[in-house]
Amino acid sequence: MSENAILYDMRKKDYPNKRGDTFRTLQVFKCWVCGGLTNRVVMGGHPGYGVATICPNSSECWHHEIEDKIRWFKYPHPKSYKEELKEEIDTMRKEHENHVKHDLEGACDKTLQGDVSHVCSSKPDNPSCRHFLRDSFR
């Protein structure tokens, strides 16, 4: 982790804004799937113009499995099934908590926290994971 990184305050809207620009922010973004933290931002282009924060674990197969279960949990199910599904999610998160990577640079402020905007990796960093292929055709 580099302590000398230039950090932009997202509240001031004075950050780089061209498609493909990457920069670090004072704010920290937390993944709703695994709890990974990042302050790296990528500016997107059409479609999806704007700020994109990507979970540093988004290319991991275990991350996709947890994400699928969380998405499935949001649908209506019998109470007993939802309880079982929640237990599976909690177990998987506990199982992989030692694998969670954080991507923080500079003296960021962890009290200024938001959610990551993207949990699906834009590139297949993990060749053994086939979830990327599935996500490519959604």
What is the arithmetic mean of pLDDT over 94-117? 93
Residue pLDDT, tens place only, 15-72: 998 888 899 999 999 999 999 999 999 988 666 668 889 999 988 989 999 999 999 9
Indicate yes or no: pTM above 0.95: no
Phi and psi angles of residue 8, each rounded to the nearest 5 degrees, phi first: -100, 140
DSSP state letter for 56: T
Both tokens of 103, joined, read 């991507």
Show Cβ contacts of residue 110 under 8 Å, excluding neighbours closer than 6 positions: 28, 37
* Secondary structure element (H or E) that encloses residue 81, with its range: helix 79-96
Structural domain boundaries in the chain: 7-121
